[in-house]
Amino acid sequence: MSPSATSPRTPARRPAALVAALAALAVIALAGSGCGSRAGTADIVNGKAQFVQKCGSCHILDRAGTAGRQGPNLDEAFGPSREDGFGAGTIAGVTQDQIAYPGRGSPMPADLVSGEDARDVAAYVGRVAGLGGDDQGALATAGLAGATDGEQIFTAAGCGGCHVLADAGATGNIGPTLEGIAGTAAQRQRGVPPEQYVSESIINPNAIIAPGFSAGVMPANYDDQLTPEQIKALTDYLLRVGR
């Protein structure tokens, strides 16, 4: 029997060159962004709320409960670096630099969040990316958890990043417009009440795909993120203002 069959497998270590490259990237990001942009104390409660609203429709971040797939999975992106010893401050620095300078050809707009909000988002990502588990204290009720009426939920869930809805000032173009959704619902599934069509589209967005759009774009975890009361409030709001 070969030694490999009897010896416990030694976990593969990341090449030293890769670790060094990540360290260099972090240093460059921190230096390039300037100390002034990180002055003061970050508000990670606001950071979570802003992340869920502005970033969650495109990024997975387990602690924030977001499941967007248009951009990188932030737990997978930063988890290995954290295991290699990079701290929350370094991850926050890289994140803030990416917010300000997302890169040529990136679908992410520059300065999607800016100023103190960008600092707060970066600090929150730096604190939780790759850790899993649940937020505690004030963080547990930040973002969607504290939203009660339909417009609050629409905004907190980041729906405006993908959909047009004039009442909410939303101009997203990744998903179908929600203007006229009441009439659209009646036409798209004849015999199904608009309330049922809209609520099911929130819970199971891939069940019926609007013409010209693709499956797998809208996060499919709102059934976990939203309470039944929040889903009803959001549905009622969309049908009321999206006529």
Low-confidence winner among 16-20, 94-98, 139-143, 239-243 (lowest mean pLDDT) = 16-20
Which residue in 149, 170, 114 sits closest to 240, CA to CA? 149
Which of the residue ranges 21-25, 59-63, 238-242 would you say has the lowest mean pLDDT?
Answer: 21-25
Give the per-residue pLDDT at 40: 55
Q: In this structure, are residues 209 and 164 in contact, taking their beta carbons and an 8 Å threshold?
A: no
Look at residue 143 in the predicted model and tell me its pLDDT: 78
Go through the domains of the chain in sequence order and give each one's CATH number: 16-140 (1.10.760.10), 147-241 (1.10.760.10)
- As a whole number of Å, the CA-based R_g of the chain is 21
Most confident of 17-31, 37-51, 112-126: 112-126
Lowest-pLDDT range of 32-46, 48-62, 77-91: 32-46
36-45, 50-59, 130-139, 223-232, range with the lowest pLDDT: 36-45
Query: Residue 66 and residue 133: Cα distance in Å, rounded?
Result: 13
Residue 75 has pLDDT above 70, yes or no: yes
22 within 8 A of 82, measured Cβ to Cβ:
no
The neighbouring-strand residues paired with 170 are: 165
CA atoms in the 13 A half-sphere facing the CB of 116: 7
pLDDT value for 110: 75
The distance of Cα 149 from the centroid of its chain, to the nearest Å, equals 21
pLDDT value of residue 36: 33
Res. 15: pLDDT tops 70: no
- Which two structure tokens, joined as six digits, stand for 181? 């959704």
Contacts of 220 (CB under 8 A, 6+ apart): 67, 204, 205, 206
pLDDT band of residue 183 (cuts 50, 70, 90) is: confident
Dihedrals phi, psi of 60, to nearest 5 degrees: -85, 130
pTM of the model as a whole: 0.65
Q: What is the mean pLDDT of residues 49-76?
A: 87
The values of phi and psi at residue 171, to 5°, are: -130, 25
Name the phi and psi angles at 61, rounded to 5. Answer: -145, 105
